[in-house]
Amino acid sequence: MTVNTSVQIVGIEDAIKQLRRIEPELRKQFNRDATDIARPAVTEAQGKYPEMPLSGMARQWNARGRALFPYSAAAARRNVKVKVDTSRKTRNVILIQQRNPGAVIFETAGRKTDNLLGRSLGVVAPATTRVLEPAVSRNRDRLEDGFRELARKVMRLVESKGY
């Protein structure tokens, strides 16, 4: 269970795949650079998770054998990650995602259907989240500029190697 927020740059996926073939260490550096570019949005999101949104979220909740709660602000902050994914099944190559189940529920509850948990946490619009999307939106220009420059750098490198 994850929630993702992303900025799309067209054409980078193939260049990143080629980068792995050219020099695996350069691909690792790309991942580090992408993480550095996304750091302002990640840091902002990490600072916005409340200590305990609702008292019931402190209890153990399981569904279908998976632990969904207890919610922990520390775990929510720790599990905001930048992921670079070039697999065919994904639409986005660089994602900022929340990987903690309790925090994912906090982020998304009530956005698809009106329910008591979503109303108790506060209204959230469809296709958005409570913390990640606003953090990315406030940093969107910086993220897009940084990712565009990183994409250009990678594409020039791949082209210079003849791929």
74-127 residue pLDDT tens: 999 999 999 988 887 777 788 899 999 999 999 999 999 889 999 999 988 888
pLDDT in tens, 10-24: 567 777 888 788 888
Average pLDDT, the chain: 87
Please enumerate in sequence order all residues whose Cβ is within 8 A of that of 5, keeping only pairs 6 or more positions apart, or say none. Answer: 95, 96, 97, 129, 132, 133, 135, 136
* The pLDDT of residue 78: 97
Show the tokens assigned to 156.
Answer: 């020039």
Q: Which residue has the higher pLDDT, 80 or 156?
A: 80
Query: What is the chain written as a DSSP string?
Result: --EEEE---TTHHHHHHHHHHH-HHHHHHHHHHHHHHHHHHHHHHHHH--S-SSGGGGS-EEETTEEEE---HHHHHHTEEEEE---TT-S-SEEEEE--HHHHHHHHTTSSS--HHHHHH----TT--SSHHHHHHHTHHHHHHHHHHHHHHHHHHHHHTT-
- Residue range 66-72: mean pLDDT, rounded: 92
Contact, 102 vs 76, CB < 8 A?
yes
**Is it the case that residue 40 has pLDDT exceeding 90?**
yes
